[in-house]
Amino acid sequence: MPRRFHDEQQELPRASLFRRLMAMLYDGMICVAVLLIATWGYTMLNALVIGFDEYQQILESRTRATDPLLTSILFVVLYLFFAYFWTRTGQTLGMQVWRIRIENTNGTSISWLQALLRFMMGWVSWLALGLGYLWMLVDKQKLTWTDRFSESRVVLVNPN
């Protein structure tokens, strides 16, 4: 069940591009730590299954430059990190610091599907050299591609 943040009639101001980018920077640092822990766990589990000596030989021989399974796991871990915060409180830790929140237009928390849509469009927005986020500078409603695609918005919390 969605969590209600405020009355449906209450209109909070949109978060600025600067606040969004700063929150992304904060969250990026946290994501590095989360991904390091996930990679460590994957590596330890892999070494246990294969055997530590054999796993060390594989790493030293550099026969595998990339590991598609690890890449997929890290992608899912990142999605779960963001979706957990977005669907519960509407705020990641970086968003809390910069007093911004993701919500539906009626003031409720977004769903897991909306979080997936935001996450996927976020990658597209960055791969397009940030154009998906810069779009809010020309959009009349100050919405980014991720906002439009997930039918949600990022607002300023406690705009005092």
- Structural domain boundaries in the chain: 23-30+70-156
For residue 30, what is the enclosing H or E element?
helix 17-50
pTM score over 0.85: yes
Give me the phi and psi of 11, to 5 degrees please.
Answer: -110, 110
CA–CA distance, 115 with 117 (Å, rounded to integer): 5
How far apart CA 24 and CA 31 sit, in angstroms, is: 10
pLDDT of residue 60: 81
DSSP string, 33-68: HHHHHHHHHHHHHHHHHH-HHHHHHHHHHT--S--H
pLDDT at 57: 84
pLDDT tens-place string over residues 32-91: 999 999 999 999 998 899 898 888 887 788 766 788 999 999 999 999 999 999 999 999
Q: pLDDT, tens digit, for every residue of 77-93?
A: 999 999 999 999 999 99
Mean pLDDT of the 19-25 span:
97
Residue 110 is which amino acid?
I
Between helix 112-127 and helix 68-88 the angle, nearest 10°, is 120
**Residue 36 CB contacts under 8 Å (≥ 6 apart), including other chains:** none
